[in-house]
Amino acid sequence: MAFSTALWSFTLVVGLLTLTPGLDTALILRTSALGRRRRAWGVVLGIQTGTLVWGAFTSLGITALLTASHLAYEVLRWVGACYLLWTGARMVLNTWRRRTALHEPDEAAGVAVQDTLAGGWRQGTLTNLLNPKMGAFYVALLPQFIPPGAPHLTTGLLLTCIHIALGLAWSAVLIAFTRVVRGWIRKPQAQRLLDRVTGTVVVGFGVRLALGE
């Protein structure tokens, strides 16, 4: 496979995957729709940080150990599943505990939910890195687009950066979209509905991760 062909082929594949709705999309939409733009961008940057780590580890051959070691994969899978289940359940439960806007203190955590870049970055990074399927995905996909004779680490990081660039561009579209519907989202009942839907989606991904092979 020629280098230019590999780049365009990889761009097409990860571009389609980026557009496919999933956990990342749900978290970005929910955070941005609540008016927390800095935190939403923090989530975006955290997700892409995780992507960069998985891409670098795959290029170095480290994630192959994850797919080869059943115990390592299982440990990471259950930690990730528990984190998603806890996050999603907290979102849903909080909607029944309060009747005001979601800018109120987070009763489950006992602290105020702040619109900070750092807070969103931590959430996005944890969500991405605690998903072993991201590692398995990169192990299965990335090597196929590295031409024979090409420097493995450099090419792998270049392809990962393409994935990150597409993710950032799509995230910008999602955040811009939430500004269009901001008036409706400001209503407390709309915010509770958003959290219930997003929390259910996150719990669903946690269950899927826990029960998946």
**What tens digit of pLDDT does each residue of 80-91 get?**
778 778 877 877
For residue 110, the model assigns a pLDDT of: 41
**Which has the higher per-residue pLDDT, 119 or 212?**
119
**Which has the higher per-residue pLDDT, 110 or 20?**
20
For residue 99, the model assigns a pLDDT of: 47
Q: What is the pLDDT of residues 32-53, one digit of tens each?
A: 887 788 999 999 999 999 999 9
Distance CA 15, CA 9 (A): 10
Average pLDDT for 42-65: 88
**Which has the higher per-residue pLDDT, 67 or 174?**
174
Whether pLDDT at 105 is above 50: no
**Which has the higher per-residue pLDDT, 60 or 48?**
48
Whether pLDDT at 102 is above 60: no
Tell me the whole-structure pTM to 2 decimals.
Answer: 0.74
